[in-house]
Structure 1
Amino acid sequence: MDLLSNPAALIDQTLLLPTATAGQIEALCEEAVEYGFATVCIPPVFVPLAADRLYGSTVGVCSVVGFPCGYNSSRQKVQEAADLVAAGAVEVDMVIALGPLLEGSLAQVEEEIAQVVLAAREGRVKVILECCYLTDPLIMRATEAAVRGGAAFVKTSTGFGPAGAVVADVQAMVTAAAGRIKVKAAGGIRTFDQYLQFVAAGAERIGTSAGTSIVKEWLARCV
């Protein structure tokens, strides 16, 4: 791993708290431009604001669909995805419905993903599995469904479940993805050492609310 590479390029700097304010989103966007994060990942209501603040920069706007539980109807998720991209999001992180997956209805999971991908049009879709509820075989089957559904990424966690990202889960996802889609690790990643662990495991995007401190750690230690 190249420790001289700025970690910001792989980070979705995230603020999804229910108490988030417009002022906090504006500050997040300013930090994202300053540090060079891949995207800001924010609540849907703030997408137009962030798209305006980040216009002309290299930082993308990411938002969420079916968040955080995933049990919205497929029709609702499709509409959410279409609305987000129309408002300026370039990436959409969707939560799958866990019930069908746990019951073995992989075709239903795949179809919902495919519908959201179609609705997002040019927007890249990341499929959130909430791995803390799943066994390794289910993680791998869900990753395969994400591949067949046309997603760009498969993602570990919302950060709102009982556990966040786990290295072993990322490794299972990477194995199942087999280079066909990318893997995003998110949930509880707050230090540069954790960042390194997940990137070493194969994650190509990191979701965290601690992006600024991670980059500062990198600057202090490696530059």
Structure 2
Amino acid sequence: MFDRAAIVSTLQTACAMRAGCGLLLPSEDVRLGGRFTGLAAGMLLLELGPDRDIDAIGPAQVVCVTFNHARGSCCFMSRVLSCSAVHGASDRNRARSERVPAIVSPAARVRLAMPDTMSGIDGRLAFRVPVLDRELELDLGDTAAGGRVSVIDICIGGAQIELPEQHVALQLRQRVQVTIRLRQSTFTTLAEVRRRTDRRYGLFFVDVLREGRVVPPTALARIVRELERRWLEQRRGMARR
């Protein structure tokens, strides 16, 4: 947990860098992509990119904001003070990619109340560890089977996977139950598809967020740390050659 001074300092840095962020609307089961733009009179200013669910956000709603920082991945809850549409905003970014787009023409400007609390997770756990070990298994719940799912990289927040050609394609924002196994460690969570490139998908582990706080599940953290250890050992071995 961050103290008040650390919260202000972290958000000032994020605004100065116009850092990207995600807004989760628990009441609407919606996630929006945006960026920080400034602090003013005790308010946090953001711009949101074009999104089909942009109309879901409005004054007085409670939102969960997530973003990356030098301290690691950060998360806080806040209340929407105001939300105004940007007239003439273009949807051209959405057509370029199925992932949350870089913002060229913002669709809305949002003012949030300054958070009283903020949580962060260890940057090492937020780092996506390349998966080199075939012992790691990932099952996609009750989706249609179609061969082994390849895990490209993983962290406590999510994973990048690649599906075989015969597997039924997943849809953006689709939620699936994921089970991850590495030797004696098993972890099951609800995951949401956040991006897609051909047969590769970016999954977000929904269950790492609890009441607005990022809480690393013990089993998942154990798996990630073990994969990281093996990856570092391999890199050290290659460096000695």
The TM-score range, normalised by the shorter chain, is under 0.3
Tell me the TM-score normalised to structure 1 length.
0.28
Tell me the TM-score normalised to structure 2 length.
0.26
Compare the two structures and name the one with the higher strand fraction. 2
Larger Rg: 2
